[in-house]
Structure 1
């Protein structure tokens, strides 16, 4: 009888302890004041180019970021390119969106191997960055192939991107898919590559993108499972060149947003290292500046 009572009390104690472990704990995020955040992902396509400016916010602040509407933004080809560099003024169109539009058909920001400078003025603070437009891969085609049901994959038709990495190591890419006019933005759909594989140091060069990368252009469900295509579905793919710094930035972003359920052994939450600096203090701010060469292809299921 005594042993049964003790066992019952022990179970009650353990149950009470586990219950208390579920109490939410709010940690100090050490947020002091908002900082400028810059999203400057540009390309060499003759189309409107946009830079988004906003303010950072507390980690626990569950709302959309505050747009920055009082800045001046310019992008220039650097003086190393020519005696009088071309400059492109980005006008504010609302909600922190600054846009440059080609003045004539075919006009672009520049070409591969050109260096570009970003300048931002906001009040008495100035921000700057530089980057070089790297080359991109060559797209051969988008194919549709029937796959039988297997572990983690439903039977059906799926797309694959056939693109080739150019000869010479050090090429990084963001592969972006638009499915039926909707850009795929699920965390698991962030598709980046380095020399046609996942990361530097693979020893590969000048080859076609490996299967997991070319297959990752398909739409995924909330659990990361690939969804078969149906008749009439339209897929458009962009292969966007990245600087080494931009690749590192996106790789850390991928690790952060796919970081599990914030468990004990997950990676600590941190900001990806940017390449934009406040001129006076030389301190890096949040965000990134990349000017890309872009290859595009599209296809519809018939």
Structure 2
């Protein structure tokens, strides 16, 4: 999952090192242990495909291992007129699945404006989160462009962009997800979110075509010498989805970008310190343990295209 790497404990520690030390000096910080917290990865959609809620425990920041999945939980999503239960996957600990049909998908996640509540019971604690399914926007087309003199790419490169128009009415927020040859573009630098047709609420780009930087659906790829390569070659395909997200989910994804898209080097001395990103997962007991992660329900539009040989 795109957010898997985020679910280590981001302890918000600033490591201060003297600029007079050698660049080769090794620093081994002594980090305090912390109680594991529940992490929820629940990004549901109206697509007729398996829907997943993933539960895991946080782990020490420097631990080089996948998070431990949580087994034996109860996972239910309720909405006006019904509820659905997610069943634990027998082969993947911590993964809870619901398999829709054409009819059940439309019934459950087909109503724009409907509110949903996720309820998780694990051990003796209960957690809840709410989301609203907002409208998305259809993708009109995808185009490829042959680049000869773009300084960002080598000569004779192919780039791609989608075309769509934000509907009139301020406050639509989206997560634009792209796939090259069926593989999701999920690096931190490839996370693409929009507020109306622009980047932020203050941009005032309501009801217009998405801005050019947002329309870009190009992988961030380099060769063995760390030199940018052509995003696409003849025969490659691109598939683009526009997911409606709540404003809280839009803010969450922006925080993810800030926390994970960190190039390193000297500039890191002046960057924002690591910290836990926001969450909408709440323990029903105010004195209970805290949780991390996010719950969102999206309406999705999609379109694909192949670059002809």
Coarse TM-score class (shorter-chain normalised): 0.7 to 0.9
The answer to whether the Cα contact below 8 Å between 2:198 and 2:204 also exists between their aligned partners in 1 is: no
Partners of 1:134 and 1:124 in 2: CA distance: 33
What's the offset of the Cα at 1:59? 0.8
Equivalent positions of 1:135-284 (< 5 A) are: 135-154=135-154, 155-215=156-216, 217-222=217-222, 225=228, 227-261=230-264, 263-281=268-286, 284=290
287-296 vs 138-147, greater mean Cα deviation: 138-147
Aligned counterparts, 1:1-302, within 5 A: 18-19=21-22, 22-77=24-79, 81=80, 85-93=81-89, 94-102=92-100, 104-108=101-105, 109-110=108-109, 111-154=111-154, 155-215=156-216, 217-222=217-222, 225=228, 227-261=230-264, 263-281=268-286, 284-302=290-308
Shift of 1:36: 0.7
Residues 228 and 22 of structure 1, relative CA distance in 2, 3 Å threshold: closer
Gap change, CA 1:152 and 1:242, over 3 Å in 2: same
Aligned counterparts of 1:196 and 1:149: Cα–Cα separation in 2: 27
Compute the displacement of 1:22 (Å). 4.1
8 Å contact kept, 2:220–2:231 = no
User: In structure 1, the residue corresponding to 2:140 is in which secondary structure?
Assistant: strand
| Residue-pair matches, total | 277
Structure 2 vs 1, CA of residues 64 and 170 (structure 1 numbering), >3 Å: closer, same or farther?
A: same
Distance in 1 of aligned mates of 2:251 and 2:277? 8
Counterpart-to-counterpart distance in 2, 1:42 and 1:31: 33
Match of 1:12 in 2: none
Distance 1:139-1:221 versus aligned 2 partners, 3 A rule: same
Q: Secondary structure at the match of 1:201?
A: helix
Tell me by how many angstroms 1:256 deviates: 1.0
Larger radius of gyration: 1
Distance 1:240 1:39 in 2: 16
Measured in 2, the distance between the counterparts of 1:224 and 1:169 equals 40
Q: Give structure 2 stretches of 5+ with no counterpart.
A: 1-19
RMSD (Å), alpha carbons? 1.8
Say if 1:233 and 1:301, in contact at 8 Å, map to a contact too.
Answer: yes
Q: TM-score, normalised by structure 2?
A: 0.85
Distance 2:227 2:278 in 1: 27
CA–CA distance in 2 between the matches of 1:92 and 1:63?
A: 22
Single out whichever of 106-115 and 234-243 deviates more from structure 2: 106-115
Residue 138 of structure 1: CA displacement? 2.2
2:102 aligns to what SS in structure 1? coil
TM-score, length-scaled by structure 1: 0.86
Paired position in structure 1 for 2:11: none
